[in-house]
Amino acid sequence: MTKLSSIADYVTDKISSNDIALREYVTTDCILQNKKGREIATNLPPQSCCLTRYQRGDVLIANIRPYLKKVWFADIDGGASSDVLVFRAKEGHSPSFLYAVLLQDSFFDYVMQGAKGSKMPRGDKEQILRYEMPTLSCSEESIGTFFLNLDQKIRLNEQINQNLPILDHSLREARVRLVA
């Protein structure tokens, strides 16, 4: 078994909220539940503050109510609120593999075992780094790429499913015109 701390670190670099655009700001509210990625935040912090600087390839996890399974693989650089944990793969390790590890339900179950607080539980940062994962015989990169491709396919299928009612309505209208 290998500990999470052997492949990843918490990011502690800071950036001012004045130095980022709205689309680059990540809060616990804009990371979507059940591993669905993120949406654009509704607003920047009202006052200038320090945020955690994340970069493309980092993995961001909402640390409030970990049972909601809010995780995002960053595709841009930006700043995150203090309630968002930013993980960066250590040199020699694959960011996409790190994402695959942190996507697992077993990871979120583990975080909840050490969570503190009952109304708004938060993960214990030290306990999280002790998360154990199996040592694998195949490459991190191939596993990470597999999970990223799978994630993209799931999102594409969700978009298709959202458009099915529109397509169904259009087909019905076309049938009515053909019959008339």
CATH of the domain at 27: 3.90.220.20
Report how many domains make up the chain: 1
Torsion of CA 92, 140, 31, 86, to 10 degrees: -20
Q: How far apart are CA 165 and CA 171, in angstroms?
A: 10
How distant, in Å, are the alpha carbons of 11, 38, 67, 103 from that of 34? 23, 11, 9, 9
Query: Taking the model in full, what pTM does it have?
Result: 0.78
53 pLDDT above the threshold of 60: yes
pLDDT for residue 174: 64
Q: What confidence tens digit (pLDDT) does each residue in 20-42 have?
A: 999 999 999 999 999 999 999 99
pLDDT for residue 42: 94
Q: How far apart are CA 46 and CA 69, in angstroms?
A: 27
Contact status, residue 140 vs residue 99, Cβ threshold 8 Å: no
How many other CB atoms are found less than 10 A from the CB of residue 78? 23
More confident residue, 107 or 154: 107
What tokens were used for 171?
């087909």
Q: What confidence tens digit (pLDDT) does each residue in 120-178 have?
A: 999 999 999 999 986 665 566 666 677 677 777 777 777 777 776 776 666 677 666 66
Q: What is the mean pLDDT of the chain?
A: 88
Q: What is the residue range of 175's domain?
A: 2-179
> Which DSSP letter does residue 169 get?
H
pLDDT for residue 112: 95
Length of the chain equals 180
